[in-house]
Amino acid sequence: MKIAVLGAGAWGTALAMQISQRHQVALWARNAEHVSGMRKARSNPLYLGDFRFNDHLSIESELEAALQDADLILSVVPTAGFRNILKEINALGSQLPVIWANKGLEPETAKLPHEVALEELGNGRHWGALSGPSFAAELVRGLPTAITLAANDEVFARDAGALLHGGNFRVYTSTDVAGVSVGGALKNVMAIASGISDGMEFGNNARAALITRGLAEMTRFGVALGGQKETFMGLAGSGDLILTCTGQYSRNREVGIRLASGQSLSDILQSLGHVAEGVNTTREVIRRAEQLGVDMPITYEVDQVLSHGKSPRTAVENLLSREQKSEAV
């Protein structure tokens, strides 16, 4: 079995290394210099340190070469480039099933990855989303990790999940692609809010409240888009949310912490060196929520900080001063 992993950032590389313990893997990156460096080092020092690749993992700079003789495509390119990579796959005449592990909403269209996949791949082809509480730095060290694979076909979800499942990597399956996609996107927005709260030293009580109300906000948005409420109680919902809002490796939480300290967003993003999907996602969620008529108070305040110059302290104060309401709303 051969799996083509597209995108050699930290998460793409970690997944490629994990899967290569049981299958042949071609790890593709667009940047030829990056590919050359990985081939020479047999690792990805740019994004994942000196963890060594095994002999089952090859590195490719040509997409056609990566897809040759593959049985499955796992796309881990940023959401902003997801549509383009699907178009490139189609242009090569490939009909391989596609699973993606990117999270967020497409810039300008505010569409989730599964909506992009439906437009570019159609519903007659197998595709799905891989999401859940998972830091690359822990997976690559062999630490226990459990995630969800949601697909447009139950049998495909089970079979593809079985290919990825094994060792320290547990894969649960679902057919709620919409719910899993929303969970993966919105947890990054909530992590920025959590980081702001932590950066301002508002304490554990405030963080717990943000996570809990953030979950309610995610669920409202997801159900409005056809997701199942139960999904948000699982790994791709509350599990990923808790990890991203509290974990030391969370880039989106780090964005919030630095914003609270007074750093500018441009300086923060330049120094991170990795994509923080929540920054772009926040603006698109606001756009989509307005279309759906869904109340998103935490997302709104995060957007005000990121895009409209509101101070982090004022944003938190606005959330605290909202009128009393039932928790069930």
Q: Rounded to the nearest 10 degrees, what angle do helices 297-307 and 203-224 cross at?
A: 100
Tell how strand 2-6 and strand 72-75 pair up.
parallel
The pTM (predicted TM-score) of the whole model is: 0.94
CA–CA gap between residue 191 and residue 8 (Å, rounded): 24
What is the pLDDT at residue 251?
93
What is the pLDDT at residue 218?
97
Q: Show the tokens assigned to 77.
A: 């390119």
What is the pLDDT at residue 324?
78
Q: Show the tokens assigned to 252.
A: 């989106």
CA–CA gap between residue 77 and residue 193 (Å, rounded): 25
Distance of CA 59 to the CA centre of its chain: 23
Question: DSSP character for 80?
Answer: G
Q: b or e along 305-325 (b: 16 or more beta carbons within 10 Å of the residue's beta carbon)?
A: bbeeeeebeebbeebeeeeee
The one-digit pLDDT tens for each residue of the chain (329 residues) are 999 999 999 999 999 999 999 999 999 999 999 999 999 999 999 999 999 999 999 999 999 999 999 999 999 999 999 999 999 999 999 999 999 999 999 999 999 999 999 999 998 899 999 999 999 999 999 999 999 999 999 999 999 999 999 999 999 999 999 999 999 999 999 999 999 999 999 999 999 999 999 999 999 999 999 999 999 999 999 999 999 999 999 999 999 999 999 999 999 998 987 677 889 999 999 999 999 999 999 999 999 999 999 999 999 888 888 887 888 76
With beta carbons less than 8 A apart as the criterion, state whether 282 and 306 touch. Answer: yes
Examine the residue annotation and report whether 187 is marked as an active-site residue of this protein: yes
Given the residues 40, 87, 187, 325, the one annotated as active site: 187
What is the pLDDT at residue 18?
97
Among residues 317, 291, 318, the alpha carbon closest in space to that of 221 is found at: 291
- Return all residues near 218 (Cβ < 8 A) that are at least 6 apart: 182, 183, 186, 187, 190, 232, 237, 241
With beta carbons less than 8 A apart as the criterion, state whether 215 and 238 touch. Answer: yes
For each of the domains in the chain, give its residue range(s) and CATH number, in order of start.
Answer: 2-175 (3.40.50.720), 178-320 (1.10.1040.10)
Identify the residue whose tokens are 């309610």.
216
What is the pLDDT at residue 321?
84
What is the pLDDT at residue 329?
63
Q: Which helix (H) or strand (E) holds 177?
A: helix 177-199
